[in-house]
Structure 1
Amino acid sequence: MAGFATLDTIALAFFLASWFGYHFVVELGPHSGKSLNMLMNLRRARWVREAMERDNRIVDTQVMGGLQNGTAFFASTSLIAIGGSLTLLQSTDRVVAVFADLPFATTTSTAAWEIKVIGLAAIFGYAFFKFAWSYRLFNYCVILVGALPSPRQCTPEEAEQAVHETTQMNIAAGRHFNRGQRAFFFALAYLGWFLGPVAFIGFTAAVLTAMWRRQFASDATRVFERRS
């Protein structure tokens, strides 16, 4: 790549491998069932099943509205981040000169800087699409919660189908929201590349470690440990 050293390529490969590897471990791997996200999916299923038994589901729709508002906030933040990233392209020469004077940063060419900025904007763009789709799915969830039939007015098969549809829609919305947040976290790691490939690798390793601990070894995960 123009303006990039071999170590830059290695750092970028490590970043991408970390992102895809984390995705596999948390969502598809043999130990994914122990992750905080998957444990919460079980609670989503229980929530929908209990909502099925309630005649008044105002509280459930209010909770869903809160989830929607949080998702909308992150979607708006993603757009702001995209605009902020692209703004850096307007002052490329000045910013490159500033970074060149930093004792801990490596020198970079104008072309390399612009490629890095575009990459950062692409990450935030990916996050926006995830949050926007999650918002739409939570909107569908509100409709499905409102459409849950009373168990006394439907067959067991119809009740189970309604619970399944609502649960899976809720889980899908949460999954896309988690992927959007994951992009935000890895965007922080990506910022290390502006300081150089070594910092890029270090930032990526630090973010990956923090995210792994939150999913498998955090105080939030220990909440679901069974008491003897």
Structure 2
Amino acid sequence: MNSLFAIVHFLPLADWLALGLFFIAWVGYALVAKRWALSKGSLLAATNRIRRQWMIQVTYREVRVVDGVVVQNLSTSPSFFASTTILIIGGLLAVLGASDKASELVRELPFAARTTGLVFDFKLVLLAAIFVYAFFRFTWSMRLYTFGTLLVASAPSELMFEHEGMAAREAFADRAGRVVAIAAETFNDGLRAYYLAFAAVAWFFSSWAFMGATLGVVYILYQREFRSEVLEILREA
């Protein structure tokens, strides 16, 4: 009972509310965005439809070298972010090792919250955990793009597709297009973690700034995924 009481009072109530709002907003938005993508359509859903169209076109080409190169090149973005994320995690761990000096520096910033060293370390650990999650999503996206390249490279010849008919083309497009789509969705999860990491940085200033930044980031994500100008263009494709 005493340990539970100590955990509850480890952070002020406002900080617990901000932390709860952060995770509820992150998980809740991810679930709602996936559901709305099926009913209302989203940027990711629109590009997934185009990916399937692309894989249909693959079945009509005898030489698919360019298609394989394009799929492999798509993995360069998650590869870049994975490498960058490693550097960020290393930097956060270095700051965690010198948290006393870092916390003193933060206290000198205007409007920054005055907290204990333990709470400051907890905020750094939260940031590190977010980027660790992003790293795993980016690296998994890289592997999925590799699987997509294998599917394109192992596709039957155009003559075989012509012999088997449209059903075979549709089956291949569904299979290969879905793998590439999952790779893109996984990469999107990593990017979403990056966006929300900026909201977590606001926690160093105050719990109210943390809450405001969380809501602001979710609003930006919603606008870009469901209300962006490029989405209207892709819907016409």
Normalised TM-score (structure 1): 0.93
Separation of aligned partners in 1, 2:231 and 2:169: 31
Aligned to 1:214: 224
Q: For 1:128, which of 118, 126, 135 is the aligned residue?
A: 135
Q: CA RMSD in A?
A: 1.8
Q: Which consecutive unaligned segments of at least 5 residues does structure 2 have?
A: 1-6
State the one-letter code of the partner of 1:212: Y
**Is residue 174 of structure 1 aligned with residue 174 of structure 2?**
no
State the one-letter code of the partner of 1:66: N
Separation of aligned partners in 2, 1:29 and 1:221: 14
Aligned to 2:109: 102
Shift in Å, 1:152? 2.6
Measured against aligned partners, the alpha-carbon deviations of 1:74-94 in whole angstroms (never above 9, x if no partner) come to 111111111111111122111
Separation of aligned partners in 1, 2:38 and 2:182: 19
Aligned to 2:4: none
Shift in Å, 1:35? 0.9
State the one-letter code of the partner of 1:115: F
Normalised TM-score (structure 2): 0.89
Separation of aligned partners in 2, 1:80 and 1:132: 14
Q: Which consecutive unaligned segments of at least 5 residues does structure 1 have?
A: none
**Is residue 7 of structure 1 aligned with residue 14 of structure 2?**
yes
Aligned to 1:34: 41
Separation of aligned partners in 2, 1:168 and 1:33: 19
Q: For 1:47, which of 54, 57, 63 is the aligned residue?
A: 54
Contact 2:137 2:186 in 1 (8 A): yes
Separation of aligned partners in 1, 2:39 and 2:82: 26
Contact 1:126 1:183 in 2 (8 A): yes
SS at match of 2:203: helix
Aligned in 2, Cα 1:45/1:82: closer, same or farther, shift over 3 Å? same
Q: How many pairs align? A: 227
Shift in Å, 1:125? 0.5
What's the % identity of the aligned pairs? 33
State the one-letter code of the partner of 2:70: V
Measured against aligned partners, the alpha-carbon deviations of 1:170-194 in whole angstroms (never above 9, x if no partner) come to 1111111110111111111111111
State the one-letter code of the partner of 1:8: D
Separation of aligned partners in 2, 1:151 and 1:118: 53
Superposed, 1:79-228 pairs within 5 Å as 79-154=86-161, 155-156=164-165, 157-226=167-236
Aligned in 2, Cα 1:40/1:213: closer, same or farther, shift over 3 Å? same
Separation of aligned partners in 2, 1:225 and 1:131: 27
Measured against aligned partners, the alpha-carbon deviations of 1:124-175 in whole angstroms (never above 9, x if no partner) come to 0101110101100100111101111134315235443322221111111111
Aligned in 2, Cα 1:225/1:65: closer, same or farther, shift over 3 Å? closer
